[in-house]
Structure 1
Amino acid sequence: MSVINVSGLQKHYGTTHVLRGVDFSIEEGECVILLGANGCGKSTLIRCLNGLTKPDEGEIKVNETSLEGLSKKELRNVRRRVGVVFQQFNLVQNVSVFQNVLNGAMGEKRFGLLQTLSPLASDDMRTRAMSCLARVGLEDKAGSNCRQLSGGQQQRVAIARTLMQNADIVIADEPVASLDPKAGGEIMDLLIEVVQEHKLTVLCSLHQLELASAYGDRILGMKAGRIELDEPRTSINIETMRQLYQGDVRVDSQTQQSSVEQAVTAA
């Protein structure tokens, strides 16, 4: 069953045509790597998928629900099932690691913001949060502020927050772009292990061709706002991927405005 269906997606920023008729689907349990040069439209596509940007034309269905015309409440209900891992982590830096993971459960109940505050959280919620931290190897950092952590550790917290969300789908937007190669490889290993354990569906955008060739079931390649490549990972070599990065690229504007508030809302 397809859990993400995209058809005829178009998006403009002023006179710049960023998405030009994007079509693809992702099956339940599939791990898809999204490749493309800066400015090809990847980030705009991801923002459309998680409801942060509205496309000009086309349709997106998530778990068979069209995002078109949904009320804010209905959109929140869809987004509750979609966890997002951002390039810049999108953690609340001045609170504890434990609180950041608790924030992943914010969408579960009415008045979720209050119910996920550490002093008010239920015993069950607190146990779940510690279990998520243990899974990413940071149980001993629960009381630390996020600003005290390395980049790799902060991305582990972001993955733990997504686990706390109980999402069916994970969208990872350049999750290792801010990390050194060693930390980036470790985060990709962890991300793939976690999604396989929980049988999640994943769309992960990357720039690193070596990582793209090592992870995932399928490669989607974008160029100039279009899907130019859609093949099983094992049938594609790095030279084929490298062709996506040749030639002119477009300005993928207004795509780096993700905030902590948006990340929490998406949860």
Structure 2
Amino acid sequence: MDMGLHHKSALVTGSTKGIGRAIAIELAREGANVLVNGRDREEVERTVIELKSMFPSTDPVAAAADLADREQREALFARHPHVDMLVNNMGIYEMLSYEDTNDEQWETYFRTNVLAANAMCRVYLPNMLERDFGRILFIASEEAMMPSGQMPAYAMTKSMLLSLSKSLSKLTRGSEVTVNTILPGPTLTENVREIIDSLYPGEALTFEDKEKRFMAANLTQSELQRFIAPAEIGRLAAFLCSPCASAFKGSPIRMDGGMIPTIF
């Protein structure tokens, strides 16, 4: 289906790898001109070239910047003051116990995962409201609703994004601007694939066999019993960014593979 995104501009933060890259690809597939963001300028440029090659009718743009850094954010805003769609995907995570997390690490998680995303919204939301069209999409995690206890700083920041999304959505009342959040479950990003591949050395197993073994041993609560493909999240994101999804307002949309065991 045509999602009506041709020639619209989309800034996807952290879009050179993983979920962000998949979202950039799916938006470009729908005809959007994607602003590719990442900290590594070479990776950003490479991703722009790949998008242009895959979707030659679109005009992807390099938007390299460390968005956790205020000066770099402001430089990006000066270059790109208006976008039709903002996907706040950038974030950091690692397995880090509560006892091992110091004050500086808490502050880094808050600054990177929350304050940077909020700064993006403060710049782009007013213009969307003025033009009466826009999409803001946060990428959270099932950890936002069901903290595992293995990464409390990460879980805290993702929960905060749910609250921020709902608060900002209240400002869009009566407009064609929407603010929503996707909550992915365990996703097969490049890093996850490398980790799974490394867990069973010396065993003649296909990746699918390794994945099944890992899920059965470590993620029994998953009803999907496989990792979610980034492209699956990318397609959902493209739909939520489209005019087709105008009735989604301040919604947490779960694509968690059944990880969250409750109905709410």
Asked if TM exceeds 0.5, the reply is no
Q: Which has the higher helix share?
A: 2
TM-score with structure 1 length normalisation? 0.32
TM-score with structure 2 length normalisation? 0.32
Q: Which has the higher strand share?
A: 1
* Greater relative contact order (Cα < 8 A, sep 6+): 1
